């Protein structure tokens, strides 16, 4: 939570600094308000949009007793309302949670996950997804996306201002040379911070899941199986929603160590998540 707070603070500082250089006070306010409006709809309706995008179907306890009963028991332990449970018609083993708060939440798993994990491993995965809801990660992600989006919009505004003779100082922005540097650096920095926040929330959800079920071993074992399964079985996933899944549906997220690719990844390397769950980090 401290790391998330610091990252959000850094993102806000970047917005203020970038706003002063790229668009002045008025430009910064305009970009921020516009980004808030865009992400407001995403925050309240993203659950319906993403579930429809992946053709997820709500299932009952009669249809999927093992799945629904596990979610119900975990929700009871976490002292949160029972979320809706959905099934995604995909062979790739994966799962995600959505919803703006515990009262409006849903957990979705793919067909491929059901036959791959045992009961303890499935409970670990579902506990991870419930943790995202309980930890308000949808809200945190929306805040990060709003500020990062505002920074990107400021960079675009500065580009047009330079083309049409703007950026001459004053309230409209800073020196043209400084604006050009900020146009390149600010959006990249904002994206890096946003990705770092996403990775931090994954670690937090893993830790919360381990606390809920009493051990990190089941989730650690599940993550290793899911990584292998995701790398072998492709999924028609949208990059914009890849961060929602417990493992990246695009690459399997096999990369280890600190490199450029990891900095732009929404998920930490599975090996590091497993090590943290097993107390080896």
Please identify every residue annotated as catalytic.
129
Q: What are the tokens at 7?
A: 């990252």
DSSP assignment of 193-208, as one string?
A: HHHHHHHHHHHHHHHH
Q: What are the tokens at 177?
A: 């040379």
- For the range 168-173, what are the long-range contacts, defined as Cβ-Cβ under 8 Å and sequence gap of 24 or more? 170/24, 171/24, 171/25, 171/26, 172/23, 172/24, 172/26, 172/27, 173/21, 173/22, 173/23, 173/24, 173/27
* 78: enclosing H helix or E strand: none
Residues 6+ apart with CB under 8 A from 199: 265, 266, 267, 268
What gap in Å lies between CA 73 and CA 51, rounded to an integer? 23
What gap in Å lies between CA 19 and CA 149, rounded to an integer? 12
* 104: enclosing H helix or E strand: strand 104-110
CB 208 within 8 A of CB 135: yes
What gap in Å lies between CA 63 and CA 85, rounded to an integer? 11
């Amino acid at each position: 939570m401290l790391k998330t707070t610091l990252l959000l603070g850094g993102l806000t500082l970047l917005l203020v600094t970038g706003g002063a250089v790229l668009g002045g006070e008025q430009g910064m306010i305009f970009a921020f308000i516009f980004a808030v409006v865009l992400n407001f709809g995403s925050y309240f309706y993203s659950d319906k949009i993403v579930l429809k995008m992946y053709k997820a179907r709500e299932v009952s306890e009669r249809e999927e007793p093992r799945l629904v009963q596990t979610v119900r028991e975990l929700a009871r332990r976490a002292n949160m309302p029972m979320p809706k449970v959905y099934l995604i018609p995909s062979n790739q083993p994966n799962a995600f949670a959505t919803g703006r708060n515990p009262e409006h939440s849903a957990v979705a798993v793919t067909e491929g996950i059901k036959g791959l994990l045992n009961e303890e491993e499935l409970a670990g995965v579902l506990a991870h997804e419930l943790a995202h809801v309980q930890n308000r990660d949808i809200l945190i992600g929306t805040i990060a996306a709003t500020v990062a989006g505002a920074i990107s919009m400021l960079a675009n505004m500065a580009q047009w201002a330079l083309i049409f003779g703007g950026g001459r100082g004053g309230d409209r922005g800073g020196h043209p040379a400084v604006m050009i540097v900020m146009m390149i650096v600010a959006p990249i920095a904002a994206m890096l911070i946003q990705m770092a926040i996403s990775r931090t929330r994954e670690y937090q959800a893993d830790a919360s899941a381990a606390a809920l079920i009493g051990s990190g071993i089941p989730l650690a074992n599940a993550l290793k199986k899911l990584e292998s399964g995701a790398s072998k079985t492709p999924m028609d996933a949208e990059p914009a929603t890849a961060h929602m899944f417990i493992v990246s549906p695009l690459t399997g997220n096999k990369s280890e160590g600190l490199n450029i690719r990891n900095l732009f990844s929404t998920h930490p390397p599975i090996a590091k998540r497993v090590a943290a769950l097993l107390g080896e980090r």
